[in-house]
Amino acid sequence: MREFTQDDAIRLIAKMRSFYGKKFADQWSGVDPKDIAESMVECFQGLTADDFKRGVTKMMKSSFCPTIPEFRAWCEPKADAWLDAHEAWAIARDSIEFGTGRELTVVWTEQSAKAFERCADLVATGDKYQLAEAKKIFVSIYERLVTEAKDQGLKPVYNVSLGVDPDQRISAIKQAEVAGFLTGPETQLQLEHKQTKAEIKAETERYQTTAQKAIAELREKLKLKAPVNKMSDEIKEVQAWELKPDSEYWPDPFDQRQEYIEMHKADNKKVPMAVGGGV
């Protein structure tokens, strides 16, 4: 595990200063940047690269300028801490596509899943008023379920619910690892055999090409001819009746009734009753 160094601290200070501007300047007013860096090095020992990445990701989304201990808390995995209802709602809301109801991949706790089940239909409608109502329902149920879990001494356990979009599935699982909901090995296990849309298409085409090649080789070994579509214009066998000129066809019994009757009489054939021949 790589140690957090003085150079790392200086880069982090520069990043925080650019992100928070006056908030950062006011918070650390009168403190030597060298002292800030030394405190960071001391406080951040034991954090992994993934932990540090988690903290920076949180910082990119927060308007709150953290102290050094608060930034470390952002870095540490949240596996042992329950999300508050609003954080849990932000995750659960993305389990289905707003307005279509299409299921998406999400990593959440059993409590989140149960709470969202009670309001999922409202989210699927795509109505902003019903979405607000869904959040009220979710928050109420989630807070009750988490309180019950805490009373039993339970810790949050995160589960992966797979959606239909292959690309979003991979992205959601990787984001869950950054957030600390999944460990590295758990993430690798979840991503095993998961493919993007482009990979699925490429593999399908590869299998088709392989299959076609195998079939061609088998035909060659068995001395078989490739299947032929006998109805294609190039090789279709022309029937005798298709070569007759229009003048040789029987007249239409209804559009050319009289001609039809006369032709029957000329051939000494009975005229059908439906035509009105009566003969």
Q: How many C-beta atoms surround the C-beta of residue 37 within 10 A?
A: 19
Predicted confidence at residue 138, as pLDDT, reads 95
pLDDT tens digits for range 107-159: 999 999 999 999 998 888 777 888 899 999 999 999 999 999 888 878 888 99
Predicted confidence at residue 117, as pLDDT, reads 94
- CA 222 centroid distance within chain: 45
Predicted confidence at residue 227, as pLDDT, reads 65
Cα–Cα nearest to 91, from 191, 184, 195, 175:
175
Predicted confidence at residue 230, as pLDDT, reads 61
What CA–CA distance (Å, rounded) separates 36 from 20?
A: 16
Predicted confidence at residue 111, as pLDDT, reads 95
Predicted confidence at residue 237, as pLDDT, reads 64
Predicted confidence at residue 152, as pLDDT, reads 86
Residue 36 has which token pair? 């800030």
Which ranges of the chain have pLDDT less than 50?
A: 279
Predicted confidence at residue 220, as pLDDT, reads 73
Predicted confidence at residue 195, as pLDDT, reads 59
141 residue type, one letter:
I
Predicted confidence at residue 204, as pLDDT, reads 61
What CA–CA distance (Å, rounded) separates 167 from 105?
A: 10
Predicted confidence at residue 74, as pLDDT, reads 84
What CA–CA distance (Å, rounded) separates 91 from 139?
A: 12
Query: Which ranges of the chain would DSSP assign to H, the alpha helix?
Result: 6-20, 22-27, 33-43, 49-61, 68-75, 85-92, 110-117, 120-124, 128-151, 166-179, 184-191, 197-222, 257-266
